[in-house]
Amino acid sequence: MPGFSFRIRLPKAASGVIDAGDASAVVLPLGHGLPVMRLTSGAEDTPLKVADTLYVVSDGWPDADTAGTAADKHLGVLMRVLARMRIGVDSGSRQAGSGGFTRWLIDKVWEEQGLRVINERPGLMVYESDPQPVFASMSATGQLGYHANQLEALYAAAAAFDEALTTSEAVALTLYNAAFFEKSNEARFILRMMSLESLLKPAPRSKEAAACIEELSAHVAASELPEADRESLTAALGGLKQESIRRTGRLFVQHTLGERQYAEMKAPSFFSHCYSIRSRLVHGGIPLPLPQDVSGAAAGLELMLSDILAGQLRDIPLPQASG
């Protein structure tokens, strides 16, 4: 029975570097008796530290389903580690197709050269390991530097925690990473606010408040207002049955981050500051926030989201770099 491999293409934002010296890959153990996973530059002659696209590769899985399940689990661990290191990557949900060879050309290369070609595509790829394929594709700032030993140590800690990503965390990570690829401070800021807000789950208001809202809704329904106005007001009142995003966000960051500070503000105050900027940007509040205010808020949000999305890793200090 042939073995199976998985491969995940991760375009990397220019703001982060993993320094493995001249090595093109870092090996990440997955556990006793399991295959290893490699984070590579995709080419043996390309050092990992200069790669603008990273590849997660693992060989030796018994079947396609097992390989796919392992890829989902261990990519989640790696994404949490990279968030902790503030290295932005695109795990596939925002990538366009990469192009590649036609079926005719793939067959011709196999017949003439004995090479198995697989077209590169975004996201997870699971394939038979033997014969080893080649991958075909077409493609048209300051940096944070990390050493390979730091990645290895954090990955080991994250794997030990075995803290699976929730659905909302997966969405938040997609938006968090998307921000690294944007050039304007406003775009980065809004994407980071979207990332944070995707984690929020507003709680119901008190019974007394809910009763008051129901009374107002009944009054609107019995009024002689035009139908469109009644529907609009009823929908707006229905939204009031849950706590506001601003209050929910303040409570969430307080519970998650405790006494941590961002831009010299405690987490709840910083969230409120960012939410005010977000509201003025999104709704065209006059005057619009100053560019330096947006830039500062975007930078602080990067740090805040790194701490939130790192999960239990947020309490693990970065190891000393070596090599």
Looking up tokens 């890793």 gives 313
Task: State residue 1's pLDDT score.
Answer: 45
**Across residues 86-104, what is the average pLDDT?**
67
Task: State residue 107's pLDDT score.
Answer: 67
- Is there a contact between 69 and 92 (Cβ–Cβ < 8 Å)? no
Full DSSP string of 91-127? -STTPPP-----HHHHHHHHHHH---EEE--SSEEEE
Task: State residue 140's pLDDT score.
Answer: 44
State pLDDT tens for residues 234-261.
887 777 777 889 999 999 999 999 999 9
Given a cut of 70, is residue 32 above it in pLDDT? Answer: yes
User: How does 301-317 read in b/e, with b if 16+ C-beta sit within 10 Å?
Assistant: bbebbbbbbbbebbebe
> Which residue ranges make up each domain of the chain?
4-164, 186-201+243-311, 207-239
State pLDDT tens for residues 108-119.
556 655 667 676
Task: State residue 93's pLDDT score.
Answer: 59
Bigger pLDDT: 305 vs 125: 305
Bigger pLDDT: 211 vs 61: 61
Q: What is the band of 233 on the pLDDT scale with cuts at 50, 70, 90? A: confident
State pLDDT tens for residues 43-66.
898 999 999 999 999 999 999 999
Q: Is the pTM of this model over 0.85?
A: no
Structure tokens at 155: 């990955």
- Range of lowest pLDDT (4-8, 67-71, 101-105, 149-153): 101-105
HEC-encoded secondary structure of 117-146: EEECCCCEEEEECCCCCEEECCCCCCCEEE
Q: What is the band of 104 on the pLDDT scale with cuts at 50, 70, 90? A: low
- Is there a contact between 142 and 157 (Cβ–Cβ < 8 Å)? no
Classify 56 as helix, strand or coil: strand
State pLDDT tens for residues 123-154.
788 888 877 776 766 444 556 678 899 999 99
Task: Of 27-41, 94-108, 117-131, give the range with the top mean pLDDT.
Answer: 27-41
**Across residues 14-41, what is the average pLDDT?**
93
- Range of lowest pLDDT (139-143, 151-155, 172-176, 295-299): 139-143
Classify 36 as helix, strand or coil: coil
**Residue 4: CA atoms inside 13 Å, Cβ hemisphere, count?**
17
Given a cut of 80, is residue 166 above it in pLDDT? Answer: yes
Bigger pLDDT: 222 vs 84: 84
**Across residues 17-41, what is the average pLDDT?**
94
